[in-house]
Amino acid sequence: MHATDLLRYARVHRAGAILGGVAAVAILSALFGGIRIALPSFGTPGVSTGIPFRRELPLLSAVFLTAAFGGAMAAHEEVGASRMHRVRSVYLMTLTLITCGFSFATESLAVGPDDGIVYVRSTVIWLGLALVSVRVFGPQLGWAIPLASTFPLVWLGGGWWDWTVNPPADWFSWSLAALSLFTGCVAVAASRWRIS
């Protein structure tokens, strides 16, 4: 694979728009991430709780990254040769690394490196879920499974399993990130031409 293949693929598959959206989300988190979103409480009627805005914003970055698999030729590209799939994989990996680097930098400057690490870890977890969602529901619904995962995090969050609040060195959250990303990569690799 040559760099020209990757650049050509990036130009056709909206790399600028994807990275622009990811950058906007990271900057939004840096500027307004501390604002708490008011949510109704299930426990006490008339009482509302709130979560910091930045806890859920990595989901948007992850979903923007799945736009790399969309486009008018998405169905045709899925049945392409192995070289085509390598270019797609390298393209997604490059976008993900740029996203993680930029998001970490903006969060670190805004609130500190620990929050930057948690932001990146959340992005990786939601990216894995979004890739599974792309495989199950199609490229236009990469948001479905990640969005479904936010409901227990928002209303039942704060436990040992809540990756959005666990410390940066939490082994369970990093194991979950590795499992999620691995599952997402397997889902992407299991294209129709490989499983039929």
Q: Which pLDDT does position 100 carry in this prediction? A: 95
Banded model confidence at residue 20, pLDDT cuts 50, 70, 90: very high
The structure tokens listed for 90 are: 């390298």
110, pLDDT greater than 80: yes
Banded model confidence at residue 72, pLDDT cuts 50, 70, 90: low
**Matching residue, tokens 């992850």:** 62
- Report how far residue 123's alpha carbon sits from residue 96's, in angstroms, rounded to the nearest whole number: 9
Q: Is the dihedral of CA 13, 1, 129, 164 positive or negative?
A: negative
- Report how far residue 94's alpha carbon sits from residue 101's, in angstroms, rounded to the nearest whole number: 11
- Report how far residue 104's alpha carbon sits from residue 93's, in angstroms, rounded to the nearest whole number: 16
pTM of the model: 0.85
Banded model confidence at residue 157, pLDDT cuts 50, 70, 90: low
- Report how far residue 133's alpha carbon sits from residue 89's, in angstroms, rounded to the nearest whole number: 17
Helix axis angle, 171-189 to 113-137, nearest 10°? 30
How many alpha carbons lie under 13 Å from residue 59 in its C-beta half-sphere? 20
Q: Which pLDDT does position 77 carry in this prediction? A: 58
Report the mean per-residue pLDDT for the chain: 83
170, pLDDT greater than 50: yes
Q: Which pLDDT does position 196 carry in this prediction? A: 45
Q: When comparing pLDDT for 39 and 174, which is higher?
A: 174
19, pLDDT greater than 50: yes
The structure tokens listed for 67 are: 């736009």
Q: Mean pLDDT over residues 118-125, rounded?
A: 95
Of 52, 53, 62, the residue nearest 100 (C-alpha): 62
Q: Which pLDDT does position 151 carry in this prediction? A: 82
Q: Which pLDDT does position 184 carry in this prediction? A: 93
CA distances from 98 to 52, 107, 162, 189 (A): 24, 14, 25, 22
Of 124, 133, 3, the residue nearest 67 (C-alpha): 133
87, pLDDT greater than 80: no
133 by Cβ neighbours in 10 Å (0-12 / 13-18 / 19+) ranks as buried
**Matching residue, tokens 């307004």:** 32
